[in-house]
């Protein structure tokens, strides 16, 4: 694609996204006093709020992504965002801070486009198991997720179980193996038993109310907590195959292809490790 064509595509897609988000902001302004009774009950005492994000924080969030991230349903890719003028990033920052203020994650950024790839040429193309699904989310929504994660991460890391090694900065499988070996060496029992277990479909089965309960215990600022609860509601996946599309509401699991997916998993799994400790099992 030539530079002129790419610029034209960026302007077209960027304009569509901006108009959609602008209309969403107007809608939220009209209904800004409406807060579900459910979250009013959850958050009656939470007064601390996350301050508005700055341009420096936005640039840092955008810098976390590579240029080759595939676009979601809006057709906007990360390279376009990175090459966008300052005015576009300023508009994005206004939208992101409005989402933080209202506690509403833009609904069009919660729709995943599912593409299917044949695992190998030898696979039977008529068998659904021969395909690997790839979930693509709108890049602007992923940038907002990154801002949320950067704001949540200090409290999240401080609350994690000491033996939570997956998806944690500075920890690896080597640390997990070393910890297990130390447990065996330090044990005074004559018989030692090590149990390995695998949770089938773990990432896809995470229960969102459990995630929110754990997040509530972190002491997150009220607006950030509401934004997270909005993020975990009203999600949808659209499967595109040839000329057909099937839409399905999503009500559980770590959103595939998301930025917050690993953090959501850690919130839940760390709780399991704590429960095992409380029952006399070294986890």
Between 163 and 19, where is the model more confident?
A: 163
Segment 16-31 shows an average pLDDT of 50
* pTM of structure: 0.78
User: What tokens does 34 get?
Assistant: 């409406």
Cα angle 202, 130, 138; round to 5: 60
CB burial of residue 277 (10 Å; 0-12, 13-18, 19+): middle
The whole-number pLDDT of residue 2 equals 60
- Tell me: pLDDT of 32 over 50: no
Cα–Cα distance for residue pair 259/149, rounded to 1 Å: 8
Q: According to the model, what pLDDT value does residue 208 have?
A: 94
d(C-alpha 140, C-alpha 62), whole Å:
9
Share above pLDDT 70 across residues of the chain, in percent, rounded to a whole number: 82
On the question of pLDDT at 41 being above 70, the answer is no
Please state, as a whole number, how many other Cβ atoms lie within 10 Å of the Cβ of residue 76. Answer: 21
At residue 245, the pLDDT reads 86
Mean pLDDT over 84-95 rounds to 95
Region 228-233: mean pLDDT is 97
- Contact between 193 and 71 under an 8 Å Cβ cutoff? The reply is no
Position 34 confidence tier, pLDDT thresholds 50, 70, 90: very low
Instruction: Quote the tokens at residue 201.
Output: 């479909």
CA 256, CA 237: separation in Å to the nearest integer? 10
Mean pLDDT of the chain: 82
Phi then psi for residue 212, to 5 deg, are -70, -35
What is the residue-wise DSSP string for 223-250? HHHHHHHHHTSSEEEEEEETTEEEEEEE
pLDDT of residue 181: 83
Q: Roughly how many angstroms between the first and final C-alpha of the chain, as a whole number?
A: 53
Confidence of residue 20 (pLDDT cuts 50, 70, 90): low
- The 3-state DSSP class for residue 113 equals strand
Percent of the chain with pLDDT over 90: 44
Owner of token pair 């376009």: 80
Each residue's pLDDT tens digit, 169-219: 778 778 878 887 888 888 777 777 777 777 777 888 899 999 999 999 888
Task: Write out the two tokens for 53.
Answer: 């994000």
Q: Which helix (H) or strand (E) holds 117?
A: strand 111-118
Give the per-residue pLDDT at 113: 94
Higher pLDDT: 214 or 277? It is 214
Residue 43 pLDDT grade (very low, low, confident, very high; cuts 50, 70, 90): very low
Question: Contact at 8 Å (CB) between 135 and 114?
Answer: yes
Neighbours of 206 (CB within 10 A): 20
Q: 26-30, 102-106, 268-272 — which one is most confidently predicted on average?
A: 102-106
Q: What is the pLDDT of residue 14?
A: 54
92-137 tens-digit pLDDT: 999 999 999 999 999 999 999 998 889 999 999 889 889 888 999 9
Q: List the alpha helices (DSSP H) in the chain.
A: 3-30, 37-42, 55-63, 78-83, 86-102, 139-159, 173-186, 202-205, 208-217, 222-231, 261-278
């Amino acid at each position: 694609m030539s530079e002129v064509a790419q610029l034209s595509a960026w302007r077209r897609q960027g304009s569509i996204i901006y108009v959609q988000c602008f209309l969403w902001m107007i809608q939220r302004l009209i209904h800004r006093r409406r807060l579900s009774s459910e979250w009013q009950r959850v958050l009656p005492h939470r007064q601390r709020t996350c301050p508005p994000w700055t341009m420096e924080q936005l640039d840092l969030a955008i810098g976390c992504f590579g240029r080759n991230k595939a676009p979601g349903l809006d057709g906007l890719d990360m390279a376009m965002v990175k090459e966008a003028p300052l005015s576009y990033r300023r508009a994005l920052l206004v939208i992101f801070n409005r989402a933080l203020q209202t506690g509403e994650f833009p609904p069009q950024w919660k729709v995943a486009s599912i593409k299917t790839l044949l695992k190998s040429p030898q696979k039977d193309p008529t068998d659904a198991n021969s395909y690997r699904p790839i979930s693509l989310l709108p890049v602007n929504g992923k940038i907002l997720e990154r801002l949320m994660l950067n704001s949540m991460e200090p409290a999240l890391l401080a609350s994690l179980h000491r033996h939570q090694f997956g998806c944690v900065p500075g920890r690896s499988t080597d640390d997990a193996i070393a910890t297990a070996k130390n447990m065996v060496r330090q044990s005074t029992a004559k018989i030692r038993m090590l149990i390995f277990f695998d949770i089938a479909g773990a990432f896809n089965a995470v229960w969102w109310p459990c995630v929110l309960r754990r997040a509530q215990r972190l002491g997150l600022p009220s607006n950030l907590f509401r934004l997270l609860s909005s993020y975990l509601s009203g999600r949808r996946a659209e499967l595109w195959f040839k000329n057909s599309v099937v839409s399905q509401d999503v009500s559980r699991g770590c959103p595939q292809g998301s930025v917050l997916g690993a953090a959501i998993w850690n919130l839940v799994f760390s709780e399991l490790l704590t429960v095992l400790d409380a029952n006399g099992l070294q986890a």
